[in-house]
């Protein structure tokens, strides 16, 4: 491995226990650089030659101490909450981490005499409309109607770029979807959904294209951007850059190699995004009042129905970066990771002995109940609906319907428990809880399981 061509000095990585942070720390340390990682928790496994500092980025004193003696900061720490409808507590937490944490990093870097900061932004900061091959001249996403993650990342990026000056050199990188071995967000989700039969249809025929980037390429982009900042007249100072593999794909098709490896049929049916849109909004509304996290957020849906891919020529021009890992090679390198995740998921499914309803049923039932209870018991939600959607039954009627729904779910859950117990199922309690949550779709699966068992013993 070649040594660094520019002297980055002592490096600090915020969010160093996260996926990108860990891989960046390994790369820099392997090149002989002194590296310190800062996060609210230590990395899952020690990294040779890397100092670990545990602290909260919302604590300025902790950030200032972590920046002491540091020459280069890679600021990767963030909270990813892609919700448009969010509770006040969620908004406060995300804003204090993503925006307040960035303010702490910039202030601490200046006070500690740090020379440069490379910020891990996101392609999301401009994704409020369709883009096909656009460059960095496109405007930030409008704050009206965008999700919490997009809003706070855009605000933080503005702070970083504005901070570039005589005392501190800064730039920002905007990666697309990050993937690779050990990635703990996208791969576990697609493996779980695929094995449980929940990837059943494309959105709008799978036409929308989006960007992705393999982890090694993203790490090299961070390193090369920081190296360029060592030049006082660097072209990348105070600028942001899109980072991706240059081969945009629809997200469903991007993960087709994973589904093929799992032996799961790729969906051939398609669902209009207009049908899915209200379900995502209901799911977010339910989540904002304490319900489960929605299976799909409105921001994620937007990425499945609109093109949003971007040119990487800016990074090539200003600091010489180009991707080296095409998607087919990236997926080949991920096969062992997918196999491991599949083994763990199958073990989990076997231990549960409870079959989940399809994701469409889950979203429909929880979304419908969430909307019903919000309209029935939250005056603000009822007023919002009357003002922006249209006429609605009186709240007392809705409250009666809600009470009947509760009674129906309780009755179905009780019946499910007794039926599973009668069949000698160790999972009777789990079937009861699931049926309490999802109602008839869960009870139907239990009845099918009982019928199958009866057929096996006949």
Burial track 40-66 (b if 16+ CB lie within 10 A, e otherwise) = eeebeeebeebbbbeebbeebebbbeb
Can you give the C-alpha Rg of the chain in angstroms? 24
pLDDT of 456: 55
> Which of these ranges, 109-123, 230-244, 332-346, 420-434, has the smallest mean pLDDT?
420-434
CB neighbour list of residue 429: distance below 8 Å, 6 or more residues apart: 417
Query: Does residue 131 have an active-site annotation?
Result: no
Question: Is the pLDDT reported for residue 260 higher than 70?
Answer: yes
- Token readout for 242 is 């899109």
Which one from 149, 214, 241, 382 is the annotated catalytic residue? Answer: 149
Q: How confident is the model at residue 1 (pLDDT cuts 50, 70, 90)?
A: very low
Higher pLDDT residue, 458 or 332?
A: 332
Which residue is associated with the tokens 């160093």? 16
- Closest to 370 measured CA to CA, from 378, 359, 379: 378
For the chain, list the domains and their CATH numbers: 11-350 (3.40.50.720), 354-452 (no CATH)
Q: How confident is the model at residue 432 (pLDDT cuts 50, 70, 90)?
A: confident
User: Distance between CA 405 and CA 263 in Å, rounded?
Assistant: 39
Q: How far is C-alpha 42 from the geometric centre of its chain's CA atoms?
A: 21
Are residues 63 and 138 in contact, defined by beta-carbon separation less than 8 angstroms?
A: no
Q: How far is C-alpha 112 from the geometric centre of its chain's CA atoms?
A: 32
What is residue 134's DSSP assignment?
E
User: Distance between CA 122 and CA 172 in Å, rounded?
Assistant: 9
Q: How far is C-alpha 399 from the geometric centre of its chain's CA atoms?
A: 35
- Token readout for 25 is 């720390």
Question: Is the pLDDT reported for residue 292 higher than 70?
Answer: no
pLDDT of 457: 45
List 178's β-bridge partners, or say none.
213
pLDDT of 200: 85
Pairing of strands 50-54, 116-120: unpaired
- Write the CA distances from 55 to 29, 40, 75, 121, 400, integer angstroms: 21, 5, 14, 21, 49
Are residues 13 and 38 in contact, defined by beta-carbon separation less than 8 angstroms?
A: yes
- Token readout for 141 is 């996403």
Q: Mean pLDDT of all residues in the chain?
A: 91
Mean pLDDT value of segment 125-144 = 92
User: DSSP string covering 186-255, please?
Assistant: HHHHHHHHHHTT----EEGGG---B-EEEHHHHHHHHHHHHHHHTSTT-TTTT-EEEE--S--B-HHHHT
Select the highest-mean-pLDDT range: 257-261, 294-298, 356-360.
Answer: 257-261
List 177's β-bridge partners, or say none.
212
Cα-based torsion angle of the residue sequence 171, 300, 334, 199 in order, rounded to the nearest 10 degrees: 180
Higher pLDDT residue, 434 or 247?
A: 247
The three state secondary structure string of 322-345 is: CCCCCHHHHHHHCHHHHHHHHHHH
The fraction of the chain above a pLDDT of 70, given in percent, is 97
Mean pLDDT value of segment 397-422 = 91
- Closest to 70 measured CA to CA, from 7, 20, 24, 113: 113
Question: Is the pLDDT reported for residue 40 higher than 90?
Answer: yes
Mean pLDDT value of segment 439-455 = 86
pLDDT of 73: 98
User: Distance between CA 86 and CA 423 in Å, rounded?
Assistant: 42
- The model's pTM is 0.80
Which residue is associated with the tokens 């101490």? 65
- Helix, strand, coil shares of the chain, percent, nearest 5, are 55, 10, 35
- Token readout for 186 is 């996208």
Question: Is the pLDDT reported for residue 204 higher than 60?
Answer: yes
């Amino acid at each position: 491995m070649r040594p660094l061509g520019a002297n980055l000095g002592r490096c600090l990585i915020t969010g160093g226990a996260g996926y990108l942070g860990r891989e960046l720390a390994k790369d820099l340390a392997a090149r002989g650089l002194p590296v310190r990682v800062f996060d609210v928790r230590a990395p899952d496994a020690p990294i040779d030659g890397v100092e670990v500092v545990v602290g909260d980025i919302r604590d300025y004193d902790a950030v200032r101490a972590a920046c002491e003696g540091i020459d280069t900061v890679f600021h990767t720490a963030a909270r990813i909450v892609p919700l448009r409808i969010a509770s006040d507590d969620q908004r406060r937490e995300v804003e204090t981490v993503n925006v307040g944490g960035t303010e702490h990093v910039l202030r601490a870097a200046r006070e500690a005499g740090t020379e440069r900061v490379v910020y891990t932004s996101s392609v999301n900061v401009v994704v409020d409309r369709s883009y096909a091959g656009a460059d960095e001249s496109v405007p930030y996403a409008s704050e009206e109607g965008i999700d919490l993650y997009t809003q706070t990342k855009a605000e933080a990026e503005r702070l970083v770029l504005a901070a570039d000056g005589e005392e501190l050199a800064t730039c920002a990188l905007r990666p697309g979807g990050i993937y690779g071995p050990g990635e703990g967000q996208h791969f576990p989700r697609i493996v779980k959904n695929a094995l449980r039969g929940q990837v059943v249809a494309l959105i709008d025929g799978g036409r929308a294209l989006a960007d992705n980037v393999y982890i090694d390429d993203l790490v090299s982009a961070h390193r090369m951007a920081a190296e360029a900042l060592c030049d006082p007249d660097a072209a990348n100072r105070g600028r942001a850059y899109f980072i991706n593999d240059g081969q945009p794909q629809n997200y469903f098709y991007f993960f087709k190699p994973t589904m093929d490896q799992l032996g799961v049929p790729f969906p051939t049916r398609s669902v209009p995004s207009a049908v899915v849109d209200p379900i995502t909004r209901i799911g977010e509304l339910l989540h904002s009042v304490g319900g489960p996290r929605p299976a799909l957020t409105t921001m994620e849906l937007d990425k499945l129905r609109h093109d949003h891919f971007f040119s990487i020529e800016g990074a090539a021009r200003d600091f010489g970066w180009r991707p080296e890992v095409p998607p087919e090679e990236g997926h080949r390198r991920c096969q062992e990771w997918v196999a491991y995740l599949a083994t763990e998921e199958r073990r989990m499914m076997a231990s549960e002995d409870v079959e989940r309803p399809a994701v469409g049923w889950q979203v429909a039932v929880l979304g419908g109940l969430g909307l019903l209870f919000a309209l029935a018991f939250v005056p603000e939600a009822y007023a919002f609906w009357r003002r922006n959607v249209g006429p609605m039954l009186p709240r007392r009627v809705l409250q009666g319907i809600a009470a009947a729904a509760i009674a129906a779910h309780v009755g179905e859950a009780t019946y499910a428990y007794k039926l599973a117990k009668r069949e000698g199922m160790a999972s009777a309690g789990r079937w009861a809880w699931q049926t309490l949550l999802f109602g008839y779709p869960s009870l139907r699966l239990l009845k099918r399981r009982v019928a199958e068992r009866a057929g096996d013993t006949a």
